[in-house]
A and B are shown apart, each in its own frame.
Chain A
Amino acid sequence: MPVTFNDANAPRFNGTSVRRPQDPPRGMVTPPPEIVAQVAKERAKFPAAIYTDAYAKRILDDRTLAYYYEGLDVAYRSVSQGVEVLAIGVEEIGQLVKGKTPEELLTFTIKEP
């Protein structure tokens, strides 16, 4: 099993660590400014050829999902501005997949940030 660490200093907590599936944002979600700043600071430590734009985007998506949805299952797709969140929690995900064609189902990913 993975060893994980609770980071109570992370900006996402903002005084509370309890979240419900109905709380976090849905739809287009852009990276929080503090996440953008943090990733830019970390990226500056590496040559541009190593910490590429594509990798920075992947990390921004990952941090954005963790910021809002840690501990929840989420269906999302990566878009240029951030992530598009389609469903949060298993019940919403179940509703999302109903009636979708096989092709449509492969346009998003389910993840537990």
Chain B
Amino acid sequence: MSEETTTKTSYHIPVGPIHPALKEPVYFEFELSGERIIDVTVKLGHVHRGVEWAGMRRNPIQVLYLAERICGICSYCHPAAFTLAVENAADIKVPERAEYLRVIQAELERICSHMLWAGVAAHEIGFDTVLYFTWQIREKALDLTEYLTGNRVTKGIMTIGGIRRDITSDMLPRVKRDMQFFKDNFEKLRHIFLDDKTVKMRSQNAGILKKDDAIKLCAVGPTTRASGVKKDVRTGESYFAYGDLDVKCITPKDLTGTVNGDVYDRIIQRLLEVKQAIELIEQCIDEMPAGDIVSEPKIPKLMNQIKKVEGEGVGRHEAPRGEVIHYVKLDGKSDHPYTWKVRAPTYNNILPWIPMLKGEQIADIPIVAASTDPCMSCTNRVAVVKDSKRYELTKEQLHKLSIEKTRRLMK
């Protein structure tokens, strides 16, 4: 077929909100020319659950368990950020041992999350043997989580002013043994992901996010670090025990010497972070001081203290997917928070999809989209995305819209 006879008009493909290829509801609209993607529109807001509203009708201790249920995989980092926000507002000091224990839990969650992601990424490119291999390692991490916290997924370990369970000396051999297991298997996993031709073929030069774009679009976590931006809350802000530990902001440059910002770099980035997490847990176990694990063991007394506080606090935590921010305002009258606002990391990592996907092929969509480790249910807040313009609805606007709809229906 000659150049003149080909039709040059592009066509649209809508994908989602409910689609077999997607694990969570999100709506894409692709503008395609043949196999190439010319433009992408992302629409969110399909799983808004009103978690923040529910949180404003509960006391901070109850909100901890509600925050845990924002996301199944990040079931530690949301209560952690909420606790940091309340501690910031109420000026509660945390015992030093609890700070170290908090780091151990946070890094264990990072191992679980990145292992799960590595499996999903392998599954997206059709390499299912690696999916089973990584999830076998993850199973060990989940067993360790169950041993340390009492449950596999909803850990319920965080509390305001400390942590709920201690790691006693008789538990340490098990932790050390599992860390050795992760280290042994990490080498194998590194070899599979970094040297295998199948993975390289699909991930190198796919879904490139340039450093400028990453900064401009405020990408967070491994997504931005894989593009060479040194952004990490663990090094940027001293919280938990990260100030005492040897934490470096790592980028793929540490291993390969160059930063391309492609899917391959994001794989390297996450694998390096797993290694860093193992090292951090080992460091914590060695350096952990003895002492209390909660500042105030009597919860009613703690609640009375929080009840009197009038002020606001911000909690920032480096979740496996990036920076999670919780904002809490306490009014000093009731024991419920006056306001609670959550910003999950995927919220920032949605817009980088647009530069990543432009110019790619349709078959690359799953792996490129999965490379930012998206979590839709965490992301859906009051923000409304319509025609790729983001805006938030105020009460008056919502009311107006509601009246308009009623009028429309009456006609």
Q: Do A and B come from one complex?
A: no
